[in-house]
């Protein structure tokens, strides 16, 4: 059993887990357990801040069994009623016992009951070092953190991209991953279509997740931006691999840091990297374009209308709703004739903030259903992605071709 620390918009994070794993159960507003056939990879889950596995022994026995050397220990206590002081006392109690047994321990301090993602990441408590450990306590059950979301990596590949345009909106890389994962489990190398690719954020995430990105956009400028950004990402990723090979492999190709991979396996991985990461991007109107087959899944942020800095007047809202509905329905109508039955389609469409602090959605689900799609309405009210006070939110719709 695994434990996930859910992101700020926990309903969306939970939906992502449900689309990828088994027996998902929400324990608290910020915690959920799930089962998986293989150890989950935190780098592929945009909605989970941390992943942990249940300890099969007491925390003291587990820490005592770690390799020789100094232990760095952090504790996050999600038990209702816990305080920052009680969490620190738990850690200091374990440290005191371990020191008696000649183990050196550094406790990571926190002013909260739980360690933030940044604190865990920057103290190396990401599960990669056996002696740098974060333990999670919930009532009398303990978990060991096995992965921490790399917020620095997300920020880098978002902000360091050579082609960015704030005027067309900025799809967060985390949300792009979530949209892809909401399609359900996909085989490596699957073709993921983004017909509103913009500057290519979703295509970048699909590429990093081992899928074949296929993007189109009505704007030739956006197509060029996407191409430039994906070429940058490929170059950066391949240079990192070459650096890894030069730092960790001897002249025969044997990798010292990963004994299970001999030189031939690493060479195959390098070869596969260039093959899997091939992408295609074309200019075209999503309501008319004929895409190449096969398309294994569709994940995209649809047309969200004009950027807004204040709540729109009723007449302006109606104009925007009509424009957005026309483009989104035109796209889905065009797509329905080109994809196979059971193909997943996940699309973020706009919703607008109103004076009552509620969001008004597009009323188009009946029309979508009539086009030959099954609409997954489970947790639909919770699949609204918005920052506090954001005027135009993203309403996530999960579809499958009938």
What pLDDT does 170 receive? 81
pLDDT of amino acid 374: 94
Q: What is the H or E stretch that residue 353 is in? A: strand 344-353
pLDDT tens string 157-208: 888 889 887 766 689 999 999 999 999 999 999 999 999 999 999 999 999 9
Instruction: Summarize pLDDT for 344-383 with one digit per residue, the tens.
Output: 999 999 999 999 999 999 999 999 999 999 998 766 677 9
Q: What is the pLDDT of residues 50-63, one digit of tens each?
A: 999 999 999 999 99
pLDDT at 341 over 70: yes
**Could you tell me what percent of the chain has a pLDDT over 90?**
77
Classify domain 165-223+279-401 at the CATH topology level: Rossmann fold (3.40.50)
pTM of the model: 0.89
CB of 7 closer than 8 Å to CB of 47? yes
Indicate the domain borders of the chain.
2-149, 165-223+279-401
Query: Between 201-208 and 173-181, two packed helices, what is the crossing angle to 10 degrees?
Result: 60
On the question of a cis peptide bond just before residue 294, with omega within 30 degrees of 0, the verdict is yes
Residue 277 has pLDDT above 70, yes or no: no
Percent of residues, the chain, with pLDDT higher than 70: 89
Stretch among 119-133, 137-151, 267-281 having the lowest mean pLDDT: 267-281
- Residue 169 confidence (pLDDT): 66
Evaluate whether the domain defined by 2-149 bears CATH number 3.30.40: no
């Amino acid at each position: 059993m695994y434990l996930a620390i859910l992101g700020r918009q926990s309903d969306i994070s939970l939906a992502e887990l449900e689309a990828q794993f088994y027996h998902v159960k929400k324990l608290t507003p910020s915690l959920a357990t799930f089962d998986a056939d293989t150890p989950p990879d935190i780098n592929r889950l945009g909605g989970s801040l941390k992943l942990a596995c249940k300890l099969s022994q007491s925390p003291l026995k587990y820490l005592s069994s770690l390799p020789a050397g100094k232990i760095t220990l952090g504790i996050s206590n999600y038990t209702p009623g816990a305080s920052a002081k009680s969490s620190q006392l738990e850690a200091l109690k374990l440290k005191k016992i371990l020191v008696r047994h000649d183990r050196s321990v550094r406790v990571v301090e926190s002013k909260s009951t739980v360690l933030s993602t940044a604190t865990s990441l920057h103290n190396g408590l990401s599960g990669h070092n056996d002696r740098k450990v974060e333990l999670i306590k919930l009532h009398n059950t303990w978990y060991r953190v096995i992965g921490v979301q790399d917020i620095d990596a997300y920020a880098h590949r978002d902000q360091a991209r050579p082609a960015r345009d704030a005027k067309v909106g900025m799809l967060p890389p985390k949300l792009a991953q979530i949209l892809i994962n909401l399609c359900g489990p996909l085989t490596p190398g699957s073709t993921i279509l983004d017909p509103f690719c913009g500057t290519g954020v979703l295509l970048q995430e699909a590429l990093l997740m081992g899928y074949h990105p296929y993007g189109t956009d009505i704007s030739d400028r956006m197509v060029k931006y996407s191409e430039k950004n994906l070429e940058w990402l490929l170059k950066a990723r391949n240079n990192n691999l070459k650096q890894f090979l030069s730092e960790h492999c001897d002249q025969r190709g044997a990798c010292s840091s990963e004994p299970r991979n001999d030189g031939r396996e690493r060479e195959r991985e390098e070869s596969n990297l260039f093959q899997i990461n091939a992408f295609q991007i074309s200019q075209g109107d999503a309501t008319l374009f004929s895409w190449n087959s096969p398309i294994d899944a569709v994940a995209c942020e649809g047309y969200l209308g004009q950027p807004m800095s204040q709540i729109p007047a009723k007449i302006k809202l109606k104009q925007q709703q009509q424009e957005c509905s026309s483009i989104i329905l035109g796209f889905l109508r065009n797509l329905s004739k080109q994809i196979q039955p059971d193909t997943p389609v996940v699309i973020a469409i706009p919703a607008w903030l109103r004076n009552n602090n509620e969001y008004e959605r597009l009323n188009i689900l009946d029309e979508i259903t009539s086009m030959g799609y099954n609409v997954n309405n489970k947790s639909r009210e919770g699949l609204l992605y918005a920052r506090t006070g954001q005027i135009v939110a993203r309403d996530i719709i999960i579809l499958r071709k009938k």
